[in-house]
A and B are shown apart, each in its own frame.
Chain A
Amino acid sequence: EPEVTQTPSHQVTQMGQEVILRCVPISNHLYFYWYRQILGQKVEFLVSFYNNEISEKSEIFDDQFSVERPDGSNFTLKIRSTKLEDSAMYFCASTEAGTRNTGELFFGEGSRLTVL
């Protein structure tokens, strides 16, 4: 069964360092997302991406964050200068494009980021 894969599963970094989280969405999906879950809290939308551009972003997604689809398979989230409060689990997700009958959002297993 096709799945969304994320690397790394866990990354520890020093405050102020740049971090790149990688995701490989399901191959025929065209919409991509990043969500964040601070430990013990709810899952929060960060950004959606379609046709090589951001389609929507939340207030959390400030100038420190960026997303990119550098090739036909990867979808990355970059945090330019990490802060302690960026420590969280980051989930990538993808879905098929096409109709108003929106379906399941396929989540990856998450990348846990710890900022020291």
Chain B
Amino acid sequence: AQKVTQAQTEISVVEKEDVTLDCVYETRDTTYYLFWYKQPPSGELVFLIRRNSFDEQNEISGRYSWNFQKSTSSFNFTITASQVVDSAVYFCALSEAWFGNEKLTFGTGTRLTIIP
């Protein structure tokens, strides 16, 4: 069975600080995909990144970066120079990588509050 753990329920940081959101996953599959989604107060789910299990390169997109460590089954997300607009709930998710099935297992989410 797949499982995603986001141990940090809530985090508050002052604007412009860096913040890292942790994600630890469990799966028996050798091939899988990891995702991060953002859920702003308006409620929709905004896709941030997808990473497959064979690609352990870290990725940077603007102020966002992701650190995938297969050895520790972690896929952490860092926001540098945080802004108030980053305030949201962030979900890490995992899916099996077989033909077209995007059954995602989500973590419980981390509520991030950026204090102006």
Interface of A with B (CB < 8 Å)? Answer: 30-31, 33, 35, 41-45, 48, 50, 55-56, 89, 91, 93, 95-110, 112
Contact = CB atoms under 8 A, between A and B. Distances in A.
Contact of A109 (B43, B100, B101): B43
Nearest to A56: B103
Nearest to A45: B103
Given A99-B100, A110-B44, 13 more contacts: A31-B100, A41-B108, A43-B91, A48-B103, A89-B43, A91-B45, A93-B102, A100-B31, A100-B97, A100-B99, A102-B97, A103-B50, A107-B44
A56 B91 CA distance: 22
Contacts of B101: 31, 48, 55-56, 102
B43 to A, nearest CB: 6
Interface string B72-113: 000000000000000000010101011111111111110000
Given A41-B108, A42-B106, A45-B105, A97 B47 contact: no
Interface of B: 31, 33, 35, 37, 42-45, 47, 50, 52, 91, 93, 95, 97-109
29 contacts: A33-B102, A33-B103, A41-B108, A42-B91, A42-B106, A42-B109, A43-B91, A43-B104, A43-B106, A45-B103, A45-B104, A48-B101, A48-B103, A55-B101, A56-B103, A89-B43, A93-B102, A96-B100, A97-B100, A100-B31, A100-B97, A101-B52, A103-B50, A105-B47, A106-B47, A107-B37, A107-B44, A107-B45, A112-B43
Nearest to A97: B100
A103 B85 CA distance: 26
* Interface of B (DSSP majority class): loop
Contacts of B35: 105
User: Ordered nearest first, which 8 A-B pairs have the shortest CB separation?
Assistant: A107-B45, A43-B106, A105-B102, A109-B44, A42-B108, A42-B106, A97-B100, A95-B102
Nearest to B98: A100
Contacts of B100: 30-31, 50, 95-99, 102
